[in-house]
Amino acid sequence: MEKASWLYNGDIFNCEISHDIDGFGQYKITAYPGDELIISLHSDWLRLFDTTSDIYIESSAWQQQHNKPFTHSELTWRGSFAHTSRNSRAFLEALEQGQTWQANIAPINGVQYQVNSTPVSTRSAVRQFRLCQQELLPKPFSYVRRVDLTFDSNSSKLDADIEQDLIAISRYISADPTVTEVLVDGHADDSGDRFINLQLSKERALEVQSRLIELGVSVNMIQVRHHGSRNPIATNNAQGRELNRRVMVRLVKGTTKASSKTAKVSQ
């Protein structure tokens, strides 16, 4: 069950190397922003549920004299698709070194299947894959679609963690033209004067808006609101107040044309 080619495909959203297995399906190793590498085995005809298959790295015939130890992981099956992220970096390195992936699928109707990759022309594909990894976005849409940025008490200062999140948000917006609107909502905890908290939530939201504009996000995409101590997401004890001192940034895709947006400030 094998063919000779490994094929690279990728962009700033994901990087992938795939390898067709004649008569079975396909091996893949995939990188997504901010995540571990994922090894997967796709079957054209086999369906398994709630079961695992061992996958190993094997030395090629010309390498076996070195008696290198196998690296092992377990593929978890979900229908025609099995995957793992454990030891995935070792599997990528093995591929670059010309070693074989071997998955052993437990007996099905008395037949055990062994699915081997072919370690031919792997270095070029892995090299392209590694270059692609360097260009991946910092975070996927599942992360940047809604981010709560938390602030110190009585502060609207953007700390290092907030800065990293805003960079990730701005880079995603730049890369995905389907994002049409950025909703920025400022909040405060309930300690102190209500009107001071309202002003503080406004300052926090405007600081986030200003930094997003500096990072290249169009002002016409951003809608800013501030809510004071209304709409807490946690109880206002010591720990809960930390969570309530926040600016929530949400990305909206494809509802209206970006050109129709105007920047707003409201309560």
Burial class (CB in 10 A: 0-12, 13-18, 19+), 233: exposed
CATH of the domain at 88: 2.60.40.2540
Indicate whether 2 belongs to any domain: no
Task: State pLDDT tens for residues 161-189.
Answer: 999 999 999 999 999 999 999 999 999 99
Indicate whether 1 belongs to any domain: no
Helices (H), 35-153: 88-96, 122-135, 141-144
Query: Are 123 and 157 members of one domain?
Result: no
Q: Please count the other Cβ atoms lying within 10 Å of the Cβ belonging to residue 130.
A: 13
Query: Are 118 and 171 members of one domain?
Result: no
Task: Give the Cα-Cα-Cα angle 15, 91, 68 (nearest 5 degrees).
Answer: 160
The CA distances from residue 146 to 14, 32, 227, 238, in Å, are 20, 18, 17, 24
Query: Are 89 and 190 members of one domain?
Result: no
The CA distances from residue 85 to 2, 76, 77, 131, in Å, are 23, 10, 13, 20
Query: Are 66 and 163 members of one domain?
Result: no
Among 170-174, 235-239, 257-261, name the one with the lowest average pLDDT.
Answer: 257-261
- Of 135, 170, 199, the one marking the end of a domain is 135
Helices (H), 68-218: 88-96, 122-135, 141-144, 160-175, 194-214
- Of 83, 112, 135, the one marking the end of a domain is 135
What is the pLDDT averaged over residues 231-237? Answer: 84
Indicate whether 172 belongs to any domain: yes
Query: Are 131 and 147 members of one domain?
Result: no
Q: How many domains does the chain have?
A: 2
Q: What is the pTM of this model?
A: 0.83
Indicate whether 68 belongs to any domain: yes
Query: Are 161 and 253 members of one domain?
Result: yes
Helices (H), the chain: 88-96, 122-135, 141-144, 160-175, 194-214, 238-244
Q: What integer pLDDT is reported at residue 67 of this predicted model?
A: 52
The pair of three-digit structure tokens given for residue 7, joined into one six-digit string: 């094929």
Q: What integer pLDDT is reported at residue 63 of this predicted model?
A: 52
Task: State pLDDT tens for residues 4-54.
Answer: 689 999 999 999 999 999 999 999 999 999 999 999 999 999 999 989 999
Would you place residue 88 in the very low, low, confident or very high pLDDT band (cuts 50, 70, 90)?
very high
Q: What integer pLDDT is reported at residue 256 of this predicted model?
A: 45
Query: Are 147 and 94 members of one domain?
Result: no
Diameter of the chain by CA atoms? Answer: 76
Give the separation between CA 65 and CA 58, rounded to whole angstroms: 12
Residue with tokens 């690296």: 71
Give the separation between CA 247 and CA 239, rounded to whole angstroms: 17
Would you place residue 238 in the very low, low, confident or very high pLDDT band (cuts 50, 70, 90)?
confident
CATH of the domain at 183: 3.30.1330.60
What is the pLDDT averaged over residues 125-132? Answer: 97
Query: Are 161 and 255 members of one domain?
Result: yes
Q: Are 254 and 178 in contact (CB under 8 A)?
A: yes
Query: Are 127 and 14 members of one domain?
Result: yes
- Of 135, 168, 187, the one marking the end of a domain is 135
Residue 209 belongs to domain spanning: 141-266
Indicate whether 117 belongs to any domain: yes
Would you place residue 158 in the very low, low, confident or very high pLDDT band (cuts 50, 70, 90)?
very high
Give the separation between CA 161 and CA 167, rounded to whole angstroms: 10
The amino acid at 19: H
Indicate whether 120 belongs to any domain: yes
The pair of three-digit structure tokens given for residue 151, joined into one six-digit string: 């602030």
